[in-house]
Amino acid sequence: MPVRARELELDLDAFEGPFDLLLTLVLKEELAPAEVDVAEIVVAFCERLEPVDLEACGEFLVLVAALLELKARSLFPDEAAELAELEPEEAAEELARRLAEYRRAKHAAALLAERLEAQRERFFRVGPAPLAPRAERRLAPQDPEQLVAALRTLAAEPPALSLAHMELRFPPVAQFLERFRAVLRRRRRFDFDGEVAGMSRVEQAVAFLALLELRRSGEIALSQAGPFAPIRVACADERRELWTARSA
């Protein structure tokens, strides 16, 4: 069921109970309007308003508007009481002064409204005016010797950059070709991993290229038990002899 404005239960610092009772106490001047927190009342009403009821919202707006009016009047001095303390002639002069102030404020508001309407389609420059004087930037006192030292530093030839640390030096493939041929003349077969152990990754890559070159030329035969297993290198003649013997 939607909550009604008058049935709203409030728990404020200065009051606890239904909203209807709060308004009654304020109207009877038993509770000062300045002590009533209108913001908490609005928040409490919005939290309990589910679903939205337009009739309840309209009633609540009327009651809260009346409460705000009472609170606003209590925050300002009573003008009627001030005029009652004056003599008739002084009261007339004070009333005439206030009326003149009201006319000036009303005339100024009308003038501002006319200017707003007349300049509605105008757009003003956001940046500085093109003919505005430019502010001069004054430098702090400078030391001539420090300025000369700075200019000498800028005029000095910069040191040459060395790219030696970025250079990759590849050993020649022929070096490994002769090395593998010499090993095969001594042992007839060897393991590639054991032969290149201790070398850098670049040297191992060049050695593997030399191994592929020997295989392409038919000088060696390669065998491997499985993926990532050691590579066995043997002379091509010995591999052919072993194959012939097994076939026989």
Is the pLDDT assigned to residue 79 strictly greater than 60? no
For residues 139 and 153, the model is more confident at: 153
Q: What is the pLDDT at residue 248?
A: 39
Instruction: Place 208 in a pLDDT band, splitting at 50, 70 and 90.
Output: very high
Cα–Cα distance measured from residue 182 to residue 176, given in angstroms and rounded to the nearest whole number: 10
Spell out the residues 6+ positions from residue 209 whose beta carbon is closer than 8 angstroms to its own.
Answer: 173, 176
Taking the alpha carbons at both ends of the chain, their separation in whole angstroms is: 103
Query: Looking at residues 54-75, what average pLDDT do you find?
Result: 78
Domain residues of the chain, as ranges? 9-80, 173-247
Question: pTM for this structure?
Answer: 0.32
Q: What is the mean pLDDT of residues 47-71?
A: 76
More confident residue, 115 or 136: 115
- In tens, the pLDDT along 3-44 reads 555 567 766 766 767 777 777 777 777 777 777 777 887 787
Residue 162 phi/psi, 5-degree rounding, is -100, 130
Instruction: For residue 237, give every residue at least 6 positions away whose Cβ sits within 8 Å of its Cβ, in sequence order, or none.
Output: none
For residue 70, what pLDDT band results from cuts at 50, 70 and 90? confident
Contact, 220 vs 211, CB < 8 A?
Answer: yes
The pLDDT > 70 percentage for the chain reads: 75
Q: Please, which residues have CB within 8 angstroms of residue 177's CB and are 6 or more apart in sequence?
A: 210, 213, 214
Q: Does domain 173-247 match CATH 1.10.10.580? A: yes
* H-run or E-run covering 231: strand 231-235
